[in-house]
Amino acid sequence: MLRKRIIPCLDVRGGRVTKGVKFKNNIDLGDPVEMAVRYSGGGADELVFYDITASAERRPIDIGMVAAVAEAVRIPFAVGGGISCVADMERVILAGAEKISVNSLAVRNPGIIAEGAKAFGRQCIVLGMDPVRSARAPSGYEITTRGFREFTGMDAVEWAKRAADLGAGEIVVNSVDADGTRAGFELEITGLVARAVGVPVVASGGAGRPEDFTEVFRKASADAAIVAGMIHSGEWTIAQIKERMKLDGVPVRMSW
């Protein structure tokens, strides 16, 4: 069985890592490069960086930050926010990132997924999706964009399937309802997407205890899980999360 991955997420705004609850009331947490180094040395399997206001502000991603992180760490990392075209993807890859995450852009222009996969390989293209519970959607979950600012009317599961067909090599399911709550991952939508697509699915939003990771891997069939607030606060470490997973029989990389 493939080992499950733990991926710290660094939401970056104005060159600083920030964290909120359900995309609101964000607080400053520190320097993204310093935090990347700490988590890389602390057992992270990968990292992900989201320039969380780039899309809403309609500006490019901070390439300088991408290059600084690439210089400082030796584990794969993905970058999202402020990507508007294949040329932007190329700049991110050349700056040192292994993966590019597209979210709002892909909703506006689904063809960008296929273009990116053709140019760099589907393993480099990640679909980020921000679903919220909605009675309007057949699956019960609707896609939102621009940092939960816009409701699209798109069904989350159907969008995931379409994105995988277009060439997305991985899908991150970031539950808006669970984001920052530390009440546990949103198992329902994560499981729905994992069962619907043939590419790795990453659970995101809501982690609060090491047991939450075992639960999302076992009950929702996630391939990886994103962690943020519970380690940013210092309450838990990646090593503690992985120790819990190991005790629970979840395959995980323990040596670092």
Active site residues: 11, 130
Q: How far apart are CA 241 and CA 213, in angstroms?
A: 8
Tell the burial category of 128 from Cβ atoms under 10 Å away from its Cβ (0-12, 13-18, 19+): buried
Q: How far apart are CA 48 and CA 17, in angstroms?
A: 12
Q: How far apart are CA 139 and CA 134, in angstroms?
A: 9
Measured CA to CA in angstroms, residue 236 lies from 178, 239, 240 at distances of 19, 8, 7
- 8 A C-beta contact, residue 173 and residue 189: yes
β-pair type (47-51, 5-13): parallel
Q: How far apart are CA 79 and CA 9, in angstroms?
A: 10
β-pair type (24-30, 16-21): antiparallel
Tell which residue, 51, 44, 52, has the closest CA to residue 8: 44
Q: How far apart are CA 77 and CA 101, in angstroms?
A: 10
